[in-house]
Amino acid sequence: MLQNWFSMDNVLFEFMGQKISYLEGLCTLTGLLCVFLAVKGKVANFWVGYIYNILLFVMFFQLRLYSSMILQPISFGINMFGHYRWTHPKDYEKDQKSKLKVTVFNNGERAVVLAVVLIFTFVWGYILSRVDVWLPSLFTYKASQPYFDSFILGTILMAQYLSAQKKLDCWGCWMTANVSNIILLKRNGLGIMPLVYAAYVILAVGGFLTWLKMYRRQHYFDLRKKVEEKWAKEKID
C-alpha cells in the first residue's frame, strides 16, 4: 500500500498535459519550504531538508536519474554537517547574535570551486555512463544524460557544502544548479518540478540579497568592534 502511494504512477492531478504524482507534489512542498527557511537563515531548514532528501531519493530512483538519486544520501550527510556548523560556531565565527556569520570567498577560492565541480563532472559522468555495464544487477537501465546529471550533482554538492559553511557564494552555485535542473527534469517528463526549480531560482536570488545584507551588517559590526578595541588600547597606553 505504502509502496503504491509513493509510486510515480500514483497520479495526484494533471498539469499542462503532464501527470503529477503524489510523490512529486510532496517533493515540491518540502523543497520550497526548505529553501524558504534557508533564505531566512533558519536552522529549521535542515529538519525539512532531511525529509526532502528521502523523498527525492525515491523519485529519482524511479526516473533512473542515478546520479541525482545517489546525491540524496550524500546530501543527507552534508545537511547533518551544516546543521552542526550552524548551531555550533566557533567564537571567531559568531555574529552579534552568536550565530554562524556569513562569509565570502575571494576570486582564487572561487576558481578552485569551479575546477573541482568540472573535474567531478567528467570523472563521475564517465562512471555513471558505465554503471549499467558494471553493476547490471542494481542498474538495469542505462543512465539518462550522465554528464549533465553529474554536472548538476557536483554543483549541488558544492552549493550544499558552501551553504553549510554559510558562504555567500553558495547562492551562485544554487542558481546554476536550479537552472540546469529545470532543463533536465523537463526533458524527463516532469511537469511541476521544473516550475518548482524556477521558484528556487527566484528564492536563490532572494537568498543572495538577504545573506548579502547580513554579511554587510556583520562586516560593519566587525570593523566598528576593531576600531573600538583599538581606541580602548590606545587610551590605556
> Could you list the mean pLDDT of each consecutive 10-residue stretch along the chain, which spans 237 residues?
58 62 82 87 90 88 76 89 90 80 92 95 89 75 81 91 93 93 78 78 92 87 68 63
- Per-residue pLDDT, 149: 83
Q: Identify whether the C-beta of residue 163 lies closer than 8 Å to the C-beta of residue 204.
A: no
Mapping DSSP to helix (H, G, I), strand (E, B) and coil, where does residue 190 land? coil
Tell me if 149 is assigned to some domain: yes
Please classify residue 116 by burial: count the beta carbons closer than 10 Å to its beta carbon, then call 0-12 exposed, 13-18 middle and 19+ buried.
Answer: middle
Residue 31 in grid coordinates: 523543497
Question: Hey, how many other C-beta atoms are within 10 angstroms of the C-beta on 137?
Answer: 5
- Residue ranges making up the domain that contains 127: 2-89+100-207
Cα–Cα distance, 140 to 115 (Å, whole number):
32
User: For the residues of 125-180, what is the DSSP string, one character each?
Assistant: HHHHHHHHHH-TTT--SPPSSHHHHHHHHHHHHHHHHHHHTTBTTHHHHHHHHHHH
Asked, for residue 202, whether it belongs to a domain, the answer is yes
Q: How far apart are CA 135 and CA 156, in angstroms?
A: 25
**pLDDT the model gives residue 129:** 85
The pLDDT score that the predictor gives to residue 103 is 92
pLDDT at 81: 92
In a domain, 218, yes or no: no
Considering the domain boundaries, does residue 235 fall inside one?
Answer: no
| The pLDDT of residue 69 | 81
Counting the structural domains of the chain, the total is 1
In a domain, 56, yes or no: yes
What pLDDT is recorded for position 89?
A: 87
pLDDT score of 6: 61
Note the pLDDT of residue 60.
82
CA angle 21, 53, 7 (to 5 degrees): 25
Residue 186 domain-assigned?
yes
Domain assignment present for 12: yes
Scanning the chain, the segments in alpha helix (DSSP H) are: 2-5, 22-39, 44-63, 66-87, 107-134, 146-164, 170-187, 193-236
Distance (Å, whole) CA 43 – CA 49: 10
CA dihedral 76, 167, 91, 45 (to 10 degrees): -40
- The pLDDT value recorded for residue 173 is 94
Assigned domain for 217 exists: no
What pLDDT, on a 0 to 100 scale, did the predictor assign at position 104? Answer: 93
Is the entire prediction scored with pTM above 0.95? Answer: no
Question: What's the CA gap between 141 and 127, in Å, rounded?
Answer: 14
Give CA–CA dist 217/106, Å, rounded.
Answer: 19
> What count of residues does the chain have?
237
